[in-house]
Amino acid sequence: MFGRRRLLPGINSPVPPLRAAAERAAMNAPIQGTAADIIKIAMINSTKKLIDHQLDKSTHLLLQIHDELIFEVEEAAIQAAAAVVKPEMENVLKSDIVPLVVHEKTGKTWADF
Protein backbone atom coordinates (compact mmCIF):
# COMPACT_ATOMS: atom_id res chain seq x y z
CA MET A 1 0.00 0.00 0.00
CA PHE A 2 2.99 2.29 0.47
CA GLY A 3 4.68 1.43 -2.82
CA ARG A 4 7.07 -1.25 -1.61
CA ARG A 5 7.94 -3.78 -4.31
CA ARG A 6 9.17 -7.32 -3.97
CA LEU A 7 10.81 -9.06 -6.87
CA LEU A 8 9.82 -12.71 -7.28
CA PRO A 9 12.11 -14.25 -9.89
CA GLY A 10 10.68 -17.74 -9.32
CA ILE A 11 7.12 -16.76 -10.23
CA ASN A 12 7.55 -18.02 -13.80
CA SER A 13 9.76 -20.97 -12.93
CA PRO A 14 9.11 -24.26 -14.69
CA VAL A 15 10.00 -25.98 -11.40
CA PRO A 16 6.67 -26.40 -9.52
CA PRO A 17 8.01 -26.07 -5.95
CA LEU A 18 9.90 -22.85 -6.84
CA ARG A 19 6.88 -21.40 -8.60
CA ALA A 20 4.57 -22.38 -5.69
CA ALA A 21 6.92 -20.73 -3.17
CA ALA A 22 6.97 -17.54 -5.26
CA GLU A 23 3.18 -17.59 -5.53
CA ARG A 24 2.85 -17.88 -1.73
CA ALA A 25 5.32 -15.02 -1.32
CA ALA A 26 3.33 -12.94 -3.82
CA MET A 27 0.17 -13.41 -1.73
CA ASN A 28 1.91 -12.73 1.58
CA ALA A 29 4.17 -9.81 0.61
CA PRO A 30 1.47 -7.11 0.38
CA ILE A 31 0.08 -8.04 3.79
CA GLN A 32 3.38 -8.41 5.64
CA GLY A 33 5.01 -5.50 3.80
CA THR A 34 2.14 -3.14 4.57
CA ALA A 35 2.14 -4.18 8.23
CA ALA A 36 5.90 -3.58 8.41
CA ASP A 37 5.51 -0.16 6.80
CA ILE A 38 2.67 0.80 9.16
CA ILE A 39 4.67 0.04 12.30
CA LYS A 40 7.78 1.79 10.96
CA ILE A 41 5.81 4.90 10.09
CA ALA A 42 4.15 4.79 13.52
CA MET A 43 7.59 4.63 15.17
CA ILE A 44 8.84 7.64 13.23
CA ASN A 45 5.68 9.71 13.72
CA SER A 46 5.43 8.86 17.42
CA THR A 47 9.03 9.84 18.03
CA LYS A 48 8.54 13.17 16.25
CA LYS A 49 5.37 13.92 18.23
CA LEU A 50 7.01 13.01 21.54
CA ILE A 51 9.75 15.52 20.72
CA ASP A 52 7.14 18.15 19.73
CA HIS A 53 5.38 17.64 23.09
CA GLN A 54 8.68 17.70 24.99
CA LEU A 55 8.17 14.12 26.16
CA ASP A 56 11.35 12.79 24.57
CA LYS A 57 13.29 13.05 27.84
CA SER A 58 10.73 11.01 29.81
CA THR A 59 9.63 8.56 27.12
CA HIS A 60 11.89 6.16 25.24
CA LEU A 61 10.97 3.63 22.59
CA LEU A 62 12.55 0.38 23.73
CA LEU A 63 11.28 -2.29 21.42
CA GLN A 64 9.07 -3.07 18.48
CA ILE A 65 7.53 -6.54 18.36
CA HIS A 66 5.34 -7.25 15.33
CA ASP A 67 2.53 -4.68 15.76
CA GLU A 68 3.54 -3.47 19.23
CA LEU A 69 5.66 -0.57 20.36
CA ILE A 70 7.08 -0.83 23.85
CA PHE A 71 8.09 2.38 25.59
CA GLU A 72 9.83 3.09 28.85
CA VAL A 73 8.03 6.06 30.35
CA GLU A 74 8.48 7.96 33.59
CA GLU A 75 5.36 7.50 35.71
CA ALA A 76 4.44 11.18 35.65
CA ALA A 77 4.41 11.16 31.82
CA ILE A 78 2.46 7.95 31.14
CA GLN A 79 -0.89 9.56 30.30
CA ALA A 80 0.66 12.32 28.23
CA ALA A 81 2.83 9.87 26.29
CA ALA A 82 -0.12 7.54 25.62
CA ALA A 83 -2.18 10.52 24.42
CA VAL A 84 0.56 11.32 21.91
CA VAL A 85 1.51 7.81 20.75
CA LYS A 86 -1.94 6.22 20.42
CA PRO A 87 -3.32 8.59 17.75
CA GLU A 88 -0.05 8.43 15.82
CA MET A 89 -0.32 4.64 15.67
CA GLU A 90 -4.03 4.65 14.83
CA ASN A 91 -3.77 7.20 12.05
CA VAL A 92 -0.86 5.86 10.00
CA LEU A 93 -3.30 4.40 7.50
CA LYS A 94 -6.79 5.76 6.97
CA SER A 95 -9.13 2.88 6.20
CA ASP A 96 -12.83 2.33 6.65
CA ILE A 97 -12.33 -1.35 5.88
CA VAL A 98 -9.73 -2.18 8.53
CA PRO A 99 -9.44 0.47 11.23
CA LEU A 100 -6.24 0.50 13.25
CA VAL A 101 -7.18 0.27 16.92
CA VAL A 102 -4.54 0.66 19.62
CA HIS A 103 -4.91 -0.70 23.13
CA GLU A 104 -2.37 0.80 25.47
CA LYS A 105 -1.31 -1.00 28.61
CA THR A 106 1.06 -0.04 31.39
CA GLY A 107 2.99 -1.95 33.97
CA LYS A 108 6.24 -1.89 35.87
CA THR A 109 7.31 -5.17 34.22
CA TRP A 110 6.16 -7.21 31.24
CA ALA A 111 4.60 -9.65 33.69
CA ASP A 112 2.18 -6.88 34.72
CA PHE A 113 0.58 -6.83 31.28
In a domain, 2, yes or no: no
User: What CATH number does the domain containing 51 carry?
Assistant: 3.30.70.370
**What local confidence, expressed as pLDDT, does residue 80 receive?**
98
Q: Is 16 contained in some domain?
A: yes
pTM for the model: 0.85
In terms of phi and psi (left: phi > 0; alpha: psi -120 to 50; beta: otherwise), the region of 54 is left
Number of compact structural domains in the chain: 1
Chain mean pLDDT for the chain: 94
Residue-level pLDDT at 1:
85
Domain membership flag for residue 3: no
Cα–Cα–Cα angle for 60, 74, 102, rounded to 5 degrees: 65
Query: What residues have CB less than 8 Å from 67, skipping those under 6 apart?
Result: 35, 38, 39
Torsion over CA: 34, 110, 77, 105 (sign): positive
At residue 111, the pLDDT reads 85
Residue at 1 is within a domain: no
Residue 4 lies in a domain: no
Q: Is residue 85 part of a domain?
A: yes
Q: Return the C-alpha torsion angle 68, 74, 79, 84, nearest 10.
A: -60
Assess if residue 100 is contained within a domain: yes
pLDDT, tens digit (0-9, with 9 covering 90-100), for 8-27 = 999 999 999 999 999 999 99
Confidence class for position 47, pLDDT limits 50, 70, 90: very high
Domain limits at 40? 10-112
